[in-house]
Amino acid sequence: MERSDWLAAEFEAQRPHMQAIAYRMLGSSSEAEDAVQEVWLRLSRSDDPAGVANLGGWLTTVVSRVCLDMLRARSARREHFVGGELPEPVVTIEEGPEHEAVLADSVALALLVVLDTLSPAERLAYVLHDMFAVPFDEIAELVDRTPAAARQLASRARRRVRGAVPEREADPALQRRVVDAFLNAARAGDFEGLVAVLAPDVVFRADRGHARTLGPLTGREEVARELLSRAPRFARYTRRALVNGRPGAVAVIGGRVVGAVAFTLDGDRIATVDLVADPTKLPASA
């Protein structure tokens, strides 16, 4: 095998791992793809990539550096997520048993919302250590800190993240039943039915684009009223789907996805409802 073919094959084998890191770091599939492409450019320009003793480790380091730079640039431009703006969801329209494996390698949208409140260094330390088991001495080099300081970054991030999603999520079958009950109540305009599936302190966030964001609403009665004020226009177009690996819903009109809803559950009640209707963050077609 020629050097270029070997390099391309090794890179493609590592692509899913790099994509997973980049999505958790950036909260955007499209930006994650850009980050991975940048890693390929750096690898192909490298003097002797075949001589790298641990190519997988090298690629993890480089994609982490690229994402860190992108987060810092985003912060400098003050383009981080604020108020109702949400990360870009990963939507799988065809839901079924064959797709349940997605859950094991996914990250809840509600968790990404909290990750967006962290500093770039905190986010990197948390993502690499807690999600990918990268040692703190390696993380320290990326953030130009001591291993002890890198550990503190992850610890601070962990305190912020704690409670964002349940430590033990409901099984997919229960999640589907709760989502079905939510959708049925929304379609029927059933206020009491909708309140019954929402947790008392449920949080609703909506992102319809920069000019039409809705700050978080809390409390099941207020959230139910807000949802039912808009549901009649879209309820008949809504179907169940996987959103970030978990049972959620999408609204599809004329073959185009116009909205995606992600849920997190606390027991058998919905704890968060995140609606993404910004067309730049949704798949082009169903």
Is the pLDDT higher at 50 or at 175?
175
Read off the pLDDT of residues 191-222 as tens digits, 9 standing for 90 and up.
Answer: 999 999 999 999 999 998 765 556 689 999 99
Confidence label for 125 from pLDDT (cuts 50, 70 and 90)? very high
Is the pLDDT higher at 139 or at 233?
139
Rounded CA-CA distance 272/150 in Å is 31
Which among 222, 253, 256, 249 is positioned nearest to 109, based on CA atoms?
Answer: 249
We find that the CATH architecture of domain 172-281 is: Roll (3.10)
Average pLDDT over every residue of 175-193: 93
Rounded CA-CA distance 36/22 in Å is 8
Query: Which amino acid is present at 34?
Result: D
Specify the pLDDT at position 141: 96
Specify the pLDDT at position 83: 43
Rounded CA-CA distance 279/244 in Å is 17
Determine the topology of domain 3-83+113-161 in CATH.
Butyryl-CoA Dehydrogenase, subunit A; domain 3 (1.20.140)
Reply yes or no on whether the pLDDT at 127 is more than 70: yes
Specify the pLDDT at position 140: 97
Mean pLDDT for all residues in the chain = 87
141: helix, coil or strand? helix
Domain assignments of the chain as residue spans, ordered by start: 3-83+113-161, 172-281
Q: What percent of the chain has pLDDT over 90?
A: 62
**Axis-axis angle for helices 55-76, 136-143 (nearest 10):** 40
Specify the pLDDT at position 116: 92
Average pLDDT over every residue of 241-259: 91
